[in-house]
Structure 1
Amino acid sequence: MDRSNKIRWALFLVLVASTVLIEAVALFISYRDLIDGEKARLKDLVQSRARIIEAIALFDSQNSAQFPGGANQATLSQIKKAHENFKGFGLTGEFNLARKNKGQIEFLLEHRNGMILDGNSVTWVSNLAEPMRKALQGKSGVMRGIDYRGVEVLSAFEPVSVLGLGLVAKIDMDEIHAPLIRDGLISATGGFFVVLVGGIVFLRISEPYTRELKKTNQKLEAEVLERRVQEKLLQDSREQYRTLFRQVSKVIAGSSRNTGEEFFISLVRSLSASLGFSFVAISKIGVENPEIFSTLAVGNERQTLPNFSYEIKGTPCQDTIKNGDSFVSQNVADLYPQDTWLRKNNIEAYAGISLRDNAGTVMGVLFACHHTPV
């Protein structure tokens, strides 16, 4: 898989991860709000029931003393009767009324889904029925815990102080989770198809751009490679010219006093043929004016050209003297706009080396010019 396709798939995976994260955050918020809402509902429900039972108990204590079993039994009888006609809440919603009796939690009322269930008992020190245990201890609140059946429930508990009883309203956690799980599955399924369709559309739309980007990248890589090759060739050329010019300059420095014009003409024509330049010239520094240089010989492999004089300032020869050598593969006339001779003669490339005697004193410049880039 090439880099462009890796990027496309990476973006697609980012889209998937973002969708999953958004779904997870949304489910978390929904779950938190659902639990908070259920807690508030159960708490209001159990507190209102407890206050009603307390009011009935107070009334019965004053007016139902003759009831078989006493006023408390009269209250319990009315509560059970009322719950027989109460449908309840949810599938697992349940009201429990219990008392502590001889180390046992004795359930007096268990109402679930419209039915009155047989009373159960749980040992006080058991891990079960924790919400009822807290209610019988006089505590009020909401908690998640294990009920007398060993099932995890969300419970609101409240003491019924007049009768010394505890009241619990609870609902199974599975019932609370069920709609959230259902909605989560629906949302996840919908999100999956949205991401799938979006991913397919994204991949199809991005395909032409990816191909174009790939072509552009390949073109750039080819250009970079070609540029590196050209730079290597240019560097090799520079070294070749530099080495050759240095060797020739040493010959000139060692023999210039014993040679004449014919030697220099033969030299420049031979160098022009060897280097493939349009012409080669040897110039010497002026005796009266060191800023003026005059050629001793100018020529190419076919002919000898007329000598000329030129002012060194602003020319590539000035940099050659300064640096020891110089090489410009193209656009030399643009780089040295003061040197009008370059533009007049359509010179494109330049290579040169300073000529010095054994003491290091500048004697002149050996340079080659070409009409096309090299």
Structure 2
Amino acid sequence: MAKSEKPKPKRRSPLWARLCAILGCVLMVLSGGALITSQALVARYAGAVKTENLFEPPAEGEKKEPVSDIKGPVNILLVGIDPRDENSAPLSDSIIVVHIPEGLRQAYLFSIPRDLRVEIPPFAKTGFQGANDRVNAAMSYGSRLGNGKYDAAQGFALLAKTIAKLTGIKKFDAGAIINFNGFKEIVDAMGGVTMTIDQNVKSEHLKPNGKPRDRRPECADHSCEHPYVGPQAEYKKGTYHLEGWQALDYVRQRYGLPRVDYDRQRHQQQFIKAMAEQALSKDVVTNPIKLDQVLRAAGDALVFDGNGHTVVDWGLALRNLRSDDMTLVKLPAGAANGGGTYIGEALEPAADDFFASLRDGTVASFLVDNPSFLQKL
């Protein structure tokens, strides 16, 4: 890591640009307060994003809803995965819901713990009958094509049904599968990212030089919880300028952290904010070559479904949101036990009240009355 730096003053960067950073933004960024709307440039970068149908189509005989303007309230489902080939079942490593109320002037982001025990509904495409399992298994159950092949986009549809059942959200208005290794390419294209590390962390996966740690021979079958040996990359509390591999490695870690996956969720949110801030810096927006590299890398980082709207449509719809309008929410949860054995995580009853506030449009007042739901960064 580079030498520790003093934290820079906060800048008011537009939330739509932050959301676009999460989505692998292919829109233009703000330069001197003016949105660049060159149709040629918009078409160029919009074309870099891979689009697929991520949501289950209407059931037979069910009327398909017409595509309408993006006015809110809207809900966006973002799923981060480590890259896997079609011969490996995808697991949702990070699940983030973005709720934007009517008027598109506020945004609320909350993470679903990957080990949360939930009811996963049946899925006809794969013959899955439904089960009570950890939420990150839903994508795997839904992605099965047969003959040892898997499709992450198909798995997303079952995960979306699962999150809808959990939260009571009737439908998601957009969704994206995010390749976290793609974020590494974005950070490298930007020349690194300045990020504040809030706790000391040791890497389970990488050596100090960024190379993979050695695997213990007896763990070749992936059966060990801690299969690696040798020197570890370390991340100390403070503010540093990180290379892409360092930033990605840091936000992947959960072993050895006091609150395990909950700490990792917070680190991922911090990374997203730091990455967006870097993308909007003068070092990027005034350098055409670097900007081109960043936006093209972002386009390679995701698969997007805007339910009839493009990434450009979504970026323009959210262009008036500001960073101060973004609220990060943490759901109250703890260990779930079955027969005295840890089987995952469980939400506390108060989480249902939060989900109800999303549905009835009272989330702002709910958070005023329940400040413990606010994520402290």
Q: TM-score range by the shorter chain?
A: under 0.3
RCO higher in 1 or 2 (8 Å CA, sep ≥ 6)?
Answer: 2
Answer 1 or 2: which has greater helix percent: 1
User: TM-score, normalising length from structure 2?
Assistant: 0.17
> Which of these two proteins has the greater Rg computed from alpha carbons?
1
